[in-house]
Amino acid sequence: MQLRRACMQIDPAFRPFLTFVTAQKRHNTKVFASNPKDADRSGNVPSGTVVDTTICHPKEFDFFLVSQGGLQGTSRPTHYKVLYDDNKFTPDQLQALTYRLCFTFARATRSVGLVTPAYYADLLAERGRNLLDGDDESSSETSSVASGPQAGMPTIHPSLSANMYFI
């Protein structure tokens, strides 16, 4: 695995345990409470509801998680699928970790519908695409003429050049 080899190039003794999970929001699966008494005030299943039987793959490690209470309409769960797991998470451990991570998004005071690291990755990918295409809506000065591989990229202040930051 290339990621493991890259870690060993940093330090031969550095062998982190890795877990790869995909998150899918664009699907047609909806979850309903089997008993109306179990639904929240908007008629949706409560936040934190996990479905890991019946509609999931019988042999693969996947689950649906409703991490955000529905404000309007029917809540749509996120489908998580474990691709690789060195940590030997049990389903309950990974589901609890995933749900708790949904509360760590800095822009929200409640949980979000997608696990926070994936949410940040999506935001950064969109921002990078917009900067490279010259379509960054947050910038009033966009250049339509490309001048090399860094066209459209802003200059970063030297004190921030060695840091990771989110905007």
pTM score:
0.75
The confidence score (pLDDT) of residue 141 equals 45
Which residues, in sequence order, are CB contacts of 165 under 8 Å at separation 6+? none
The confidence score (pLDDT) of residue 142 equals 42
pLDDT value at 144 more than 70 = no
Which residues, in sequence order, are CB contacts of 107 under 8 Å at separation 6+? none
The confidence score (pLDDT) of residue 140 equals 44
How many whole angstroms separate alpha carbon 115 and alpha carbon 97? 9
Closest to 76 measured CA to CA, from 122, 113, 130: 113
DSSP assignment, residue 8? H
Which residues, in sequence order, are CB contacts of 25 under 8 Å at separation 6+? 76, 78, 79, 113, 114
- Tell me if residue 117 falls in helix, strand or coil: helix
How many whole angstroms separate alpha carbon 19 and alpha carbon 66? 21
pLDDT value at 44 more than 70 = yes
Average pLDDT of 89-110?
Answer: 94
The confidence score (pLDDT) of residue 149 equals 45
How many whole angstroms separate alpha carbon 154 and alpha carbon 98? 34
The per-residue pLDDT for range 109-143, each reduced to its tens digit, is 999 999 999 999 999 999 888 888 765 455 444 44
Q: By mean pLDDT, which of 145-149, 151-155, 161-165 is the weakest? A: 145-149
The per-residue pLDDT for range 76-95, each reduced to its tens digit, is 899 999 999 999 999 999 99
pLDDT value at 96 more than 70 = yes
- Tell me if residue 105 falls in helix, strand or coil: coil
pLDDT value at 62 more than 60 = yes
Q: By mean pLDDT, which of 16-20, 34-38, 75-79 is the weakest? A: 34-38
The confidence score (pLDDT) of residue 143 equals 40
Element housing 91 (H / E) = helix 91-101
Q: By mean pLDDT, which of 12-16, 57-61, 68-72 is the weakest? A: 68-72
How many whole angstroms separate alpha carbon 55 and alpha carbon 57? 7
Torsion of CA 154, 155, 156, 162, to 10 degrees: 110
| Integer CA distances (angstroms), 156 to 143, 160, 161, in order | 17, 7, 6
